[in-house]
Chains A and B, each alone.
Chain A
Amino acid sequence: MKFSDLHLRVPLNDWEKTRRMIAKSFELGYSRVGVPLPPSTKQEIIDRLRRVCEEFGVDLVTRLELLPRSSSELLGSLRRFRRQFEVVSVLCVSKPLARQAAKDRRVDLLSFPAVEPRKRFFDWAEAELASRSKAAFEIDLAQVLSVEGFSRIIFLSRLRKEVVTAKSYGVPVVLSSGAADPLLLRKPQDYASLALLFGIEAPYALEALSTIPAGVVERNRLKQDADYVAPGIRIVRRKGSLENR
């Protein structure tokens, strides 16, 4: 089973720490990592990051993380940047934003960075929209590790409800580390154990760390391929290649 961590928050201004985190990810068993990059990231930085990942035999997935202030800003950003990144996630910090992101087919991952239940906006409405647009619901496990006491109790309770909602509407769940520090990284099997705390059984948790994120990445890479035309349609042979035969 090949494991993916689609949210490894490496510090791009500290290459030593970036190398350590990617090395740690490889050591823990991840073969693919998604690194969130700002829209204005230069190609040389992406190339450098790719070289670091190749050094450890890790597949790099470029991830765009959007934090728009409004739905219209979200639509504008998607129109401008969608094709430049392999995975697009939206940090849903308001209800209208969550709705718009869930509805849009260009969004791959719905993330809810807040720990307080009042600031998390994933319910049946977003789940229904996400199930049609094929967006996945992402859970950052660093959030579970970072809270303690009463906050954790409330957060786990909320997560449990969200997972039930996602499953009942057929929205895939993606588990990511969300780690900005090597000490918050865990093996995939340890994350699967942690997911038990909010109602995800081990087999599904392992899928949420492997096949589900891999499916998101493969689907988008296929779309970025030059031979891709539309869902179910791709160019098999071009005119020039026929004449050369």
Chain B
Amino acid sequence: MRKLLTPLVVLTAAMFAYAPIAILNGPAESTMLLISKIFYFHFSTWMALTAGLIVCGVCSAIFLFKGNATADRFAFAAAELVTVFGAFGLASGSIWGRKAWGVWWQWDARLPMALTLELIFLGYLIVRKYGGPGSDKLAAAMGIFGAATGPFIYKSVDWWRTIHPQTSVMTTLSIKAPEMWRLVWFCTGAFLLLFVVLLLVRVHLEERRAELDRLYLEAEA
């Protein structure tokens, strides 16, 4: 894992070093102008969060039904990353909305659903920290249901009338604004690499914690 981690870190750092320059010189949306440049990181962070939801949901299910400890470590690490990327997604969206909509927050369908997702995963972390014995199984169930909210949040802008742009913005971007489309996927690639790097490091921490627990049990025996 360590052999893989070093080139991944270098590549991620290089992409994040180049991203601000590309965004600065890249195109802006015609009506929102400069503030629309938040889009590049805002969209990418939600894509990294989606990766976290998939990892957490799948690994939680594997742990719950098969009892695989490695899957539990991946689920725990992914849940923590969901809260980190979710926090930035909510903050960047709020800042963007302040300029584009004139308000920091809008109680439409998308935004409160995204906030609820963040709260579910904060709940997951609290259960893991303070839940005591058996909290891993309870948290796994939370992880599965937290991940299940993802598709509803994604489609909320199409199903309900909201102030947030619809999903068709991304499907038509490659035709209407190919330069923006390329740049947003470059940033998404950088965010997904960052997600993988942080996930591997966070899983390593859980492995070391498990090793420490094993040593304590040996010492007591």
Partners in one complex: no
Write the residues of chain B forming the contact surface with A, with a CB cutoff of 8 angstroms.
none
Write the residues of chain A forming the contact surface with B, with a CB cutoff of 8 angstroms.
none
